[in-house]
Amino acid sequence: MPAIAPLIPKDRFIGLESVAHLAVGGEAPMLKSHRDAVARFFADKGQGEPARELEFQRMNRVRARCGELLSVPARDITFLSSASAGINTVAYGLDWRDGDNVVVADVEFPSGVYPWTTLAPRGVETRIVRNRNWRIALEDIADRIDARTRLVVISHVSMFTGQRIDLPALSQLVRDAGALLLLDATHAAGVVPVDASLADFVVSSCYKWLLGVHGTAIFYWNRERVPDFRAPFLGWNSSARSGGWKNPVEFELHESADRFLPGNPSYISLYILDNALDTLLPLGIDNIERHALALSGEIRAAVSDKGWELMTPEADPERAGNVCFLVPDVEAFRKTLEEQGVLVWGAYASFGRVRISTHVYNDSADVARCISALASV
């Protein structure tokens, strides 16, 4: 196979000179130009009242580009503090009825599971779809859905197994059942195409594949499909017009998804995300996908040769940038690789899982280094 060059040169990132950074599924390395983005924020923030207008403008710029990224209208996107906050917004905003259920996979990220358990006192059941050899099958999701299923919650790409679900097929299944779909696109947005309009709600962290930092996460509300979804948490920023001191309880919610954002967002992380999108989007998500799949495919094949149990499916449409597999001692494994300058992610070590992730700054040399480190384990 011809050598694959990085889509973004490594010297545009901080600290990538001497390592093979294959841990973006946990934390992205930082673009050097993020320092300028932070400087832009600091300069804007010091300008007194005009600062707020500049901050809003920056947020709107990011919103427009997130709309492009997710193929949905920008006004239906807002920025909450984390993907977990977005999931909880859905949990607290839907009008649950006694006997409703939520369907979620056993390999889902904890934030996609725990919020539904708080609804148990209101008679809402959390139903678990079991994986088969680490794969979540659409048939098994369909089996758990019934007439009382209100919501199906799933990651577009699994943080735990690396599986990418067939979003159009799942969307059809959920819609045919009269239920809603909450999609966690944290391991998909920025590396594979995401059509958010196929879901009813989408959340995504921005500090991994989108190359941003913590404090800002995307929250998308499919207004066409769930126009009556209630904003559960309100504050000054949720309203477009307020009655002021004369009528303090009179206000009108924003038309846009900003109704779900009670206060200021994290502007500093929006300035950084703006810079990250300036860098990522011109590359084309299709190109990024091809790049990540080619590199992670080589790593997957090497893991398979070593005989470790693979969790990530082989076919390109069923995976993205993550390769996940099981080893007897995750911490020792991760450290052995780290000593050779190969950074991988070992969180959830107690489950025996390792995750190796490939993104825009990786190249064939990183993969070769990783494969030789794997051989030494």
Ligand X SMILES: Cc1ncc(COP(=O)(O)O)c(C=O)c1O
Which one of residues 8, 28, 113, 217 is an interface residue with ligand X (CB under 6 A)? 217
Interaction between residue 82 and ligand X (CB under 6 A):
yes
- Spell out the residues 6+ positions from residue 301 whose beta carbon is closer than 8 angstroms to its own: none
Overall size of the chain counted in residues? 377
Residue 345 found at the interface with ligand X (CB under 6 A):
no
**312: phi then psi, degrees, rounded to nearest 5:** -85, 130
- Of positions 78, 84, 88, 322, contacts ligand X by CB under 6 A: 84
Decide whether 76 or 184 has the Cβ nearer to ligand X: 184
Window contacting ligand X (CB under 6 A); options: 49-57, 77-85, 163-171, 329-337: 77-85
Amino acid letter for position 202: V
Q: How far is the CB of 177 from ligand X (least distance, A)?
A: 23
d(CA 304, CA 178): 40
| Distance in Å, CB of 346 to ligand X, minimum | 13
68: nearest Cα among 317, 316, 282, 214: 282
Give the H/E segment covering residue 309.
strand 309-310
Q: Indicate whether 222 belongs to the interface with ligand X (CB under 6 A).
A: no
Q: Is 205 in the site for ligand X (CB under 6 A)?
A: yes
What is the DSSP secondary structure assignment for residue 131, as one 8-state letter?
P
186 scored as a contact of ligand X (CB under 6 A): yes
Residues 164, 311: Cα–Cα separation, whole Å: 12
Measured from the CB atom, the residue of 6 and 190 that comes closer to ligand X is: 190
Close Cβ partners of 148 (under 8 Å, ≥ 6 residues apart)? 99, 100, 101
122, 149 Cβ separation under 8 angstroms:
no
How many residues sit in the footprint of ligand X (CB under 6 A)?
12
Asked if 370 is part of the footprint of ligand X (rule: CB under 6 A), the reply reads: no
For ligand X, the binding residue among 184, 274, 298, 366 (CB under 6 A) is 184
Nearer to ligand X by Cβ, of 101 and 111: the residue is: 111
Q: Is 111 in the site for ligand X (CB under 6 A)?
A: yes
Whose Cβ is closer to ligand X: residue 182's or residue 293's?
A: 182
Classified as helix, coil or strand, 289 is: helix
Between strands 353-357 and 322-326, the pairing is antiparallel
Binding site for ligand X (CB under 6 A): 82-84, 109, 111, 155, 159, 184, 186-187, 205, 217
